[in-house]
């Protein structure tokens, strides 16, 4: 078999696999059957996600109304109320929202987990652990965006960073007004300018967000075929598992995971990390995540994530993946994940918890940063500020005919080579024996 052959079977035998749909259950059965064919120790891992699809657009509209109210209060003389509202808005975005989503999750789904020799749950529960690597991908597929939404991406690339710059102006405005309250009246002209700038710069962004979320509520949406996002990653993990089962590593335990409900907010991986990360050793655990690996010319190397709480990835792991990519004649581009980059994947929950040896394989074409985005990246000192193109995913064009088999197979070769090099690097050091 090959990754391309597994992908073709997945698309023909299962098809779209949106979370909460019958296709999701069919995908779980299909993956379990493939693992058993390969002789892997397979198990299911139940988790919950937010089932109603209207939750995310309604939540976004609520947050949009909150932002509009905070801005209106801030520039209409009720500065203290505006400052409190804006502060709570930022606190929710950066700290509270993810926590709340996990606790509102009630709809049941399953991750599919497997190991070369034993179940992943046995490794997690073991009192002593040797080095381990988890190769993973999400198996669910998204809804299609309206055709006009893809055509507006170029416009959004301008107005989104302008909106963020407007929020920075709003923060300065509130600071200046508060300084006036305590008697520093020399900053009043700057306060007036910042208030007007906040309104002007945020208006296009607010209108775009309003349009996008209202369309998510009322525009009829079909399921994406999901060949690249993420049939390609799903098939890659199955194919590499087949290869490793035939010739397993000597110094490294290898496990596999297919996460559910990624498109709904990374719920499968986030729930797993929340429950079990404390039982894993960060200095002995490697993660390799495959997402959209069947189309793009370049390999995106994620170097870290976050704006306020910046979490860099392990430099040794980054150097290893870039060196191996050069060996396979794969061009790479570095990317720091922020709102500018265009998206994230299941590795991010691991990096958030301090698992810095988390590498994501992503073969997505790149888009040129707009001038406002470049200015914002400079202003906020964002390293490796690049942006994903993301034109074919979440659309009816993400079908099997669009997959480039040579790219998918070469990425599978890269994943296998990465695992074997990690295994070889451990041969020289002490290996902790795992006790059952």
CATH number at residue 410: 3.40.630.10
Range of the domain at 405: 1-48+112-145+226-427
In a domain, 433, yes or no: no
> Do 240 and 366 share a domain, yes or no?
yes
Indicate whether 284 and 341 sit together in one domain.
yes
pLDDT per position as a tens digit, 23-44: 999 999 999 999 999 999 999 9
Q: How would residue 434 be classed by pLDDT, with cut points 50, 70 and 90?
A: very low
Domain contains 408? yes
pLDDT for res 72: 83
pLDDT of residue 435: 41
Instruction: Assess if residue 434 is contained within a domain.
Output: no
Q: What is the pLDDT of residue 181?
A: 67
Q: Are residues 274 and 322 in the same domain?
A: yes
Examine the fold and report which residue of 220, 235, 252 is the final residue of a domain before the chain moves on.
220
pTM of the model: 0.93
**Is residue 435 included in any domain, yes or no?**
no
- Domain termination residue (choose one: 220, 254, 270): 220
Instruction: Grade residue 195 by pLDDT with cuts at 50, 70 and 90.
Output: low
**Would you state the pLDDT for residue 200?**
81
Q: Is residue 258 part of a domain?
A: yes
Residue 64 has pLDDT above 70, yes or no: yes
User: Looking at the structure, do residues 275 and 309 belong to the same domain, yes or no?
Assistant: yes
Q: What is the 3-state secondary structure (H, E, C) of the chain?
A: CCHHHHHHHHHHHCCCCCCCCHHHHHHHHHHHHHHHHHCCEEEEEEEEECCCCCHHHHHHHHHHHHHHHHHHHHCCCCHHHHHHHHHHHHHHHHHHHHHHHHHHCCEEEEEEEEECCCCHHHHHHCCCCCCEEEEEEECCCCECCCHHHHHCHHHHHHHHHHHHHHHHHHHHHHHHHHHHHCCCHHHHHHHHHHHHHHHHHHHHHHHHHHHHHHHHHHCCCCECCCHHHHHHHHHHHHHHHHHHHHCCCCCCEEEEEEECCCCCCCHHHHHHHHHHHHHCCHHHEEEEEECCCCCCCCEEEEEEECCCCCEECCHHHHHHHHHHHHHCCCCEEEEEECCCCCCCCCHHHHHHCCCCCEEEEECCCEECCCHHHHHHHHHHCCCCCCEECCCCCCCCCCCHHHCCHHHHHHHHHHHHHHHHHHHHHHHCCCCCCCCC
Q: Are residues 91 and 118 in the same domain?
A: no
Percent of the chain with pLDDT over 90: 68
- The segment with the largest mean pLDDT, out of 127-141, 353-367, 421-435, is 127-141
Q: Which residues partner with 137 through β-bridges?
A: 258
Has residue 432 been placed in a domain?
Answer: no
Average of pLDDT values for 288-305?
95
280-305 mean pLDDT: 95
Please give the pLDDT value at position 187. 52
Domain shared by 209 and 327, yes or no: no
Indicate the residue among 199, 220, 241 that finishes a domain: 220
Same domain, yes or no: 257 and 216? no
Verify that 288 and 332 share a domain, yes or no. yes
**Domain shared by 128 and 250, yes or no:** yes
Looking at the structure, tell me whether residues 289 and 329 fall in a common domain.
yes
- Are residue 184 and residue 307 in the same domain, yes or no? no
Is residue 81 domain-resident?
A: yes
Domain contains 436: no
> Are residues 374 and 315 part of one domain?
yes
């Amino acid at each position: 078999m090959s990754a391309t052959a597994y992908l073709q079977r997945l698309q023909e035998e299962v098809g779209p696999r949106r979370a909460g749909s019958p296709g999701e259950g069919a995908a779980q059965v299909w993956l379990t059957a493939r693992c058993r064919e390969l002789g892997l120790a397979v198990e299911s891992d139940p988790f919950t996600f937010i089932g109603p699809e209207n939750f995310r657009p309604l939540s976004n509209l609520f947050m949009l109304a909150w932002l509009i109210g905070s801005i209106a209060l801030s520039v209409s003389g009720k500065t203290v109320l505006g400052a409190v509202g804006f502060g709570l808005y930022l606190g929710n975005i950066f700290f509270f929202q993810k926590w709340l989503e996990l606790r509102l999750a009630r709809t049941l789904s399953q991750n599919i987990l497997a190991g070369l020799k034993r179940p992943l749950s046995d490794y997690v529960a073991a009192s002593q652990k040797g080095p381990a690597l988890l190769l993973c991908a999400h198996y669910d597929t998204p809804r299609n965006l309206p055709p006009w939404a893809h055509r507006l991406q170029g416009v959004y690339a301008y107005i989104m960073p302008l909106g963020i710059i407007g929020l920075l102006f709003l923060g300065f405005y509130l600071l200046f007004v508060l300084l006036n309250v305590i008697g520093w009246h020399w900053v009043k002209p700057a306060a007036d300018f910042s208030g007007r700038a906040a309104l002007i710069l945020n208006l296009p962004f607010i209108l775009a967000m309003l349009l996008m979320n209202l369309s998510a509520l009322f525009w009829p949406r079909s399921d994406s075929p999901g060949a690249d996002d993420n049939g390609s990653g799903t098939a890659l993990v199955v194919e590499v598992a087949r290869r490793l089962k035939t010739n397993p590593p000597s110094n490294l335990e290898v496990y596999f995971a297919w996460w559910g409900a990624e498109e709904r907010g990374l719920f499968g991986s986030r729930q797993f990390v929340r429950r079990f990360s404390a039982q894993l050793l960060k200095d002995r655990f490697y993660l390799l995540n495959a997402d959209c690996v069947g189309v793009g010319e370049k390999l995106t190397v994620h170097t870290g994530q976050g704006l306020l709480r910046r979490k860099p990835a392990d430099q040794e792991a980054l150097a290893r993946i870039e060196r191996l990519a050069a060996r396979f004649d794969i061009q790479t581009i570095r990317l720091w994940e922020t709102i500018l980059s265009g998206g994230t994947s299941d590795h991010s929950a691991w990096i958030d918890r301090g698992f810095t040896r988390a590498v994501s394989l992503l073969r997505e074409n790149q888009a040129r940063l707009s001038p406002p985005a470049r200015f914002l990246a400079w202003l906020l000192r964002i390293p490796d500020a690049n942006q994903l193109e993301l034109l074919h995913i979440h659309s009816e064009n993400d079908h099997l005919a669009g997959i480039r088999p040579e790219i998918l197979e070469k990425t599978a070769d890269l994943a296998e080579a990465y695992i074997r090099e990690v295994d070889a690097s451990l041969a020289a050091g002490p290996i902790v024996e795992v006790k059952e």
